Structure 1
Amino acid sequence: MNQAIRNIPSAHSTTDPGVIGALFAHAHTFPQAPALAQGGQSLSFAEVAAQVRSLSRGLCAFGVQPGDRVVLQVGNSIPGALLLLSTMAIGAIAVPLYTGLQAPELESMLTRLRPAAWFGYDTLYPLIDRIGASLVAPDARFVIDAEPHSGAHRSWQELLTAPASEASDAPAWSGDAHAPALLAVTSGTTGEPKLVAHSQHSLMNASDPKRGMLPPAPRAILVPTPLYFCPGVVFLACTIATGHLLVFPDCRDFDAAAYLDAIERYRCAFLKTSSFGIYEMIKAQRAKPRMVDSLQVCLIAGDVAQDSLYDEFEQTFHCPLHNFLGMTESAGYTRPGTRRDTLLINDHCAMLVDDAGKPVSRGQPGELIVRGDDIFLGYWQAPGVIDDPKIDGWFRTGDILWMDDNDELHYVSRKKLLLIRDGENISPVEVEATLRRHPAIEDAAVAGVPDRQLGQRVIAFVVPGGAIPFSADAVLRDLSSELSDFKVPEMLVVVERIPRTPLRKLDRRAIDKMALHHSLPAQ
């Protein structure tokens, strides 16, 4: 696959508005400032820039072309960050994939992508082997472990030794910052995963609002998710842009103890994770307290959390916890409001609209539509084919919110999750939050059972646990004092656990399938 080495970004590039331009600008202005850290390893901006240039040469020498897809099955990993940046630097498209994909899922994704190269952990190599050479050639598979378990596998470090040439020392990064640079996989809670295409330009603009939330540089920022999820990539772009130190915990996937150890070691000032992550970190901190007084900004993302979780976090970490809303397609359109559960819109054009696209009145729920430079390019279908769902630049987020008299937003539900019973809209998120507040319930999920007369009827799956013994009749009586009659579930089904995605969001597809196995008595 050896081909002519193309132009590689210069350390003195100042014209590119994208991620790579920002990296080399910081490397030139603040070369010794720390950029990436994990465990005992730390790299300055100058060192990151040098390794990105070297890896870029290696990728080009291997034959990776602009627009080619490079699959990265990496978690919390400095090599993963370097490879992601290097892929963008040569105009190729980085595709982070979850390390827990099963063989059929991975084969389906690789069939769609037809990648030029695959990078991942040695333990994942047998999975790639079983899929076969037709999707990823054996010489295009690289492991990123410091010491691979099998010497038969190629190491990513081979690419660091690619010879330099006159072409590789060209003066400037001249790529298109508006071209696809990242394909982020949606979580697939309600449908098949989509490939969300972002450019360097949209990633930089997605990180813009977060700059206002971060403590001054060079404070340390803990990566919110492993790199196989979009928030991890967005915060990599954000810290490259701001000059902060991005800290990876010393674990591949989420591990609450490792995250806390990283906060203590590097005095991290910023934390953002899911409600599950917050819950696990509370448990880990109580089991083994760390010095976490460096935390200044803490955000909870994903499903709406119960009030007690906010209270427990603040009692344990002595730092306020605020809600945050974003999505793979537009990661930067909100910031925390003045209350723990309210949101403010960033510098976007934004409206709350009804089904006909007309603005709703204050206090009325509506779908949030946004437009701005952080919005994704569209859904990647094939090389050169991107399905752009925006209308006149407006993207329908699918999030239902309402605005109060202080211009703060309150989250209701995902539009496609709304249940409709006898013409009444029911937010499963609201019912779930009410159930989780009950002292006899640890976790809950709500779904609709199809009904010929009413359209849908409400059923809830619950995991008992808490301060008092569980009684379905008692729970339903208590719910009837907090919710309108039509919102109260007609049946509570006890389960051992609630299905969740790798991001710990409720797996709505699995929950809907569970609901189909239950019938409610005729009314």
Structure 2
Amino acid sequence: MTGRPEVINAEHRRYHELGWWRRETFLDDLDRWAREAPDRLAVVGHCWETSRGPDRLLTYADLHDAVNRCAAGLAELGVRRGDRVAMQLVNQWQTTVLALGCGRIGAVVVPYFIATGASDTEWILRRSGARVAVTIDGVRGLEPAAVIAGMRDRLPDLRHLVVVGENVPEGALRFDEALLAPSVRLDDLDLERPGPDDLFQIMYTSGTTGRPKGVRHSFNTLYAMARGYVDPLGLTGEDVMTTPCVVGGQGGWLYGMLAPLLAGGTAVWADAFDAADLLDLAHDYGITVAYITPSVLGDFIEEQDANPRKVRLRYLVSGSLPIPPAMPARVHEVFGLPLLPLWGMTENGGVTIGRPGDPDDIAVHSDGRPVDWMEVRLVGDDGRPVPEGQPGRLEVRGANMCLGYQDDDALFAASLHDGWFATGDLARPDGRAGIKIVGRVKDMVNRGGVHVPGVAVEGVLREHPNVAEVAVVGEPDPVLGERVVAVVVPAGEPPTLDDLRDLARTAGLTRGFEPDRLELVEELPKTPTGKVRKRDIEEALARRAADPAAR
């Protein structure tokens, strides 16, 4: 396997000419900050779920040393340029050291979620050809190290299992001993330094359907993605950044690790999310910027409202999931800040983002406007751009875009239309040169020829005080084709169908968008990033509709 540039074409050369890509890597950033600001705090490692003890604090000099030792340790395990190193960790300081240690010697990092099941774990390790897997002994009732140990005889490419923690399976290696205590110095090894267009990451998406896809990124595509956070917000070495987004996904990588490194600031890691804990960290370390998804931002807001801390936050950014319409006002009320929206994918990171100076309610009406090195367009079902001001299928292109899917060039090619990447999202113009996501192409419910955008209906129904969570999906119907079903996790006394239909009409939704049926459930099936697995719900409803005995 090779980590050398997989695709160098005229478009990529243009990115270099325009300064959207660079001739350096994140390791050059690390070297620069270790030289210019060696005593600046680079990483805070805070653990309360995986272990106990004082926070681990790494200055840039400390981080530089740990990364070089990790790189030498990987080399001693036989890892070379282009080899794959799987990473199944939580948000901990070892994550940064491992990722950059791999980068130092040109190895390719393969991150995936801590909650990934055994079947998908085996798929990822086999598909990626990982030579080394690094994970933890246990967390949240999971034992990922034991799971991987149990499948090693079925993975011929996997040479080593390295474990963070005390419970190390037989035949596995301890992280500190294997990767932080090499018998040789990195400078004494004859290793070729990677280039900026080399492959650096294969991130496996959680996906809402099917097997995870391995999304390939170079140092430069990740640089463009991280820059899409740093530049619009004007982040510097004075900033202290955090995110509870798990490092198995792109949000954790970009906003918890790469953006702080690019800016020369401080990254604060916490191994699990707790609203009170994160606010304490914000107070103690002076966190200035946080990217928090809507699924947990509500808890963060309410905890600060109930138990205020003195914090230095200057930006709160949210995305990955639809932002409830009432949330921006609550952020402004409690923190005195506008909530800045961000939209992107594993394939392209943050494509659009809100800016300082945008209206306080920007996140209600917009998912931001594109960064300078990304383009967006809206097209109809025929693939042609829609008339100005009209909604359509969202397509993007530019310097953020991934290099393709691991061992599936055909799938990636099928997502490209004349060089534009079809995101699968539906969007409308926001009137400010940006976009607002209104749903997924496959989320549309075809009710008698009326295409009902599930996300738009969910945004309205979520405002009902007795709705904790809601998913709007289609259910087979012999007359309409599909009926609109509101699948609701109630908060307290469940709402009635009439309650929800009245709410939809009062909000001015298009006639026919209101739910035809209400389904009450205790929880919604979700991916590790909190996205609802609508396909699972739809398949369950379809099976029930096809089985007369289940009606």
Deviations 1:234-256 (A, max 9, x none): 2312221110111112xx23333
The 1:162–1:405 alpha-carbon spacing in structure 2 relative to 1, beyond 3 Å, is: closer
Q: CA–CA distance in 2 between the matches of 1:167 and 1:442?
A: 56
Aligned 8 A contact 1:371 1:394 in 2: yes
Q: CA–CA distance in 1 between the matches of 2:421 and 2:526?
A: 27
**Alpha-carbon shift at residue 515 of structure 1 (Å):** 2.4
The 1:68–1:150 alpha-carbon spacing in structure 2 relative to 1, beyond 3 Å, is: closer
Tell me the equivalent position of 1:116.
Answer: 131
SS where residue 350 of structure 2 aligns? coil
1:364 corresponds to which of 370, 387, 390: 390
Amino acid at match of 1:428: G
Q: Is residue 2:536 matched to residue 1:510?
A: yes
Tell me the equivalent position of 1:316.
Answer: 334
The 1:126–1:164 alpha-carbon spacing in structure 2 relative to 1, beyond 3 Å, is: closer
Equivalent runs, 1:128-139 vs 2, <5 Å: 128-135=148-155
Amino acid at match of 1:309: M
Q: CA–CA distance in 2 between the matches of 1:302 and 1:166?
A: 38
RMSD: 2.6
Tell me the equivalent position of 1:202.
Answer: 221
Tell me the equivalent position of 1:35.
Answer: 42
The 1:262–1:184 alpha-carbon spacing in structure 2 relative to 1, beyond 3 Å, is: same
Tell me the equivalent position of 1:349.
Answer: 375
SS where residue 325 of structure 1 aligns? strand
1:78 corresponds to which of 93, 101, 105: 93
Amino acid at match of 1:363: G
SS where residue 268 of structure 1 aligns? coil
Tell me the equivalent position of 2:103.
Answer: 88
Equivalent runs, 1:479-494 vs 2, <5 Å: 479-481=504-506, 482-494=508-520
SS where residue 109 of structure 1 aligns? helix
> Which segment is superposed worse, 432-441 or 414-423?
414-423
1:223 corresponds to which of 224, 239, 243: 243
Amino acid at match of 1:29: E
**Alpha-carbon shift at residue 387 of structure 1 (Å):** 4.6
SS where residue 114 of structure 2 aligns? coil
**Alpha-carbon shift at residue 469 of structure 1 (Å):** 6.2
Aligned 8 A contact 1:115 1:136 in 2: no
Q: Compute the TM-score of the two structures, normalised by the length of structure 2.
A: 0.84
Amino acid at match of 2:272: D
Deviations 1:267-312 (A, max 9, x none): 10111121111022234435544333x1111112122232223333
Which aligned runs of 4 or more in structure 1 are off by greater than 6 angstroms?
Answer: 136-139
**Alpha-carbon shift at residue 262 of structure 1 (Å):** 1.7
Deviations 1:418-467 (A, max 9, x none): 2222332211001111111123322211111134543322111112226x
Tell me the equivalent position of 2:176.
Answer: 157
Count, aligned residues = 498
Deviations 1:392-439 (A, max 9, x none): 542222222122443232221122222222332211001111111123
SS where residue 416 of structure 1 aligns? helix
Tell me the equivalent position of 1:471.
Answer: 496
Aligned 8 A contact 2:379 2:393 in 1: yes
Q: CA–CA distance in 2 between the matches of 1:248 and 1:394?
A: 35
The 1:138–1:370 alpha-carbon spacing in structure 2 relative to 1, beyond 3 Å, is: closer
SS where residue 368 of structure 1 aligns? strand
Tell me the equivalent position of 1:336.
Answer: 354
Equivalent runs, 1:273-288 vs 2, <5 Å: 273-286=292-305, 288=307
**Alpha-carbon shift at residue 138 of structure 1 (Å):** 8.7
Q: Is residue 2:297 matched to residue 1:272?
A: no
Tell me the equivalent position of 2:69.
Answer: 54
Q: CA–CA distance in 1 between the matches of 2:80 and 2:168?
A: 29
Amino acid at match of 2:516: E
Unaligned runs of 5+ in 2: 1-21, 47-54, 139-143, 547-551
**Alpha-carbon shift at residue 180 of structure 1 (Å):** 1.9
The 1:267–1:457 alpha-carbon spacing in structure 2 relative to 1, beyond 3 Å, is: same
Unaligned runs of 5+ in 1: 1-14
Deviations 1:31-51 (A, max 9, x none): 222211123222122221222
Tell me the equivalent position of 1:306.
Answer: 324
Q: CA–CA distance in 1 between the matches of 2:186 and 2:458?
A: 61
Tell me the equivalent position of 1:10.
Answer: none
Tell me the equivalent position of 1:247.
Answer: 268
Amino acid at match of 2:87: L
Tell me the equivalent position of 1:69.
Answer: 84
Deviations 1:60-86 (A, max 9, x none): 121112222111111111112101111
Aligned 8 A contact 1:444 1:461 in 2: yes
The 1:494–1:371 alpha-carbon spacing in structure 2 relative to 1, beyond 3 Å, is: same
Deviations 1:101-138 (A, max 9, x none): 22222222222223111111122322223224332789
SS where residue 32 of structure 2 aligns? helix
The 1:379–1:221 alpha-carbon spacing in structure 2 relative to 1, beyond 3 Å, is: same
Q: CA–CA distance in 2 between the matches of 1:26 and 1:177?
A: 18
Amino acid at match of 1:242: A
Amino acid at match of 1:104: S
Q: Compute the TM-score of the two structures, normalised by the length of structure 1.
A: 0.88
Q: CA–CA distance in 1 between the matches of 2:292 and 2:278?
A: 11
SS where residue 388 of structure 2 aligns? coil
Q: CA–CA distance in 2 between the matches of 1:116 and 1:138?
A: 4
SS where residue 381 of structure 1 aligns? coil
Q: CA–CA distance in 1 between the matches of 2:511 and 2:297?
A: 32
**Alpha-carbon shift at residue 497 of structure 1 (Å):** 1.8
Tell me the equivalent position of 1:454.
Answer: 480
Tell me the equivalent position of 1:232.
Answer: 252
